[in-house]
Amino acid sequence: MSPPASGPLDPLSPAEEAVMRALGRFLLVIPRALDADLMREQRMSASEYHVLRHLSETPDQRMRMSELAAACDMSLSGMTRLAAKLESLGYVERIRCEEDARGANAVLTERGLARLREAWPTHLASVRRHIFDHLGDLDLDQLASAFSAMATEP
């Protein structure tokens, strides 16, 4: 955490205030909109989609449950519940970790990969409609860099 600034702080400019208000609204509305589109069109939550996506992006389509939870910004207990649901649907298998018998790996099944591929067009269309269609000619590399910098600050 940075030390508090010495002296009086300058108030936000009207443009800075507008960014803060819009960003706060964005952080609430967009995840809900993306989740709603997946639920309506695919009967799949965004959390389920993200688990399948993260697993699909690893070379062997497997991750430690703790790593998967961190990647999806979930608690381990929340990930355990979600993995149990995905396992009951045949999308994921949980197997004991060979390196650490106390741990478990989540493994994407062929059925899970097929389900991800089925849901992907819905998610893509939703992301385009709710986000990219509104960005016009903004420099996306700059925007991604700014978001990454903000997300990595302590």
Q: Which of 48, 59, 57, 67 is nearest to 106 (CA)?
A: 67
Structure tokens at 97: 């970790």
What pLDDT was estimated at residue 92?
98
What pLDDT was estimated at residue 98?
79
Mean pLDDT of the chain: 93
**pLDDT digit string, tens, across residues 50-81:** 999 999 999 899 999 999 999 999 999 999 99
User: Which residue would you say has higher pLDDT here, 3 or 49?
Assistant: 49
**pLDDT digit string, tens, across residues 106-120:** 999 999 999 999 999
Q: Which of 27, 26, 81, 95 is nearest to 51 (CA)?
A: 81
What pLDDT was estimated at residue 59?
87
Locate tokens 């952080």: which residue? 27
Q: Which residues pair with 62 in a beta bridge?
A: 107
- What H or E segment, with its residue span, contains residue 144? helix 140-152
What pLDDT was estimated at residue 2?
59
- Fold classification of 22-135 is Arc Repressor Mutant, subunit A (1.10.10)
Please compute the mean of the pLDDT values over residues 119-137 and round it to a whole number: 97
Q: Indicate the pTM of the whole model.
A: 0.86
DSSP state of 70: H
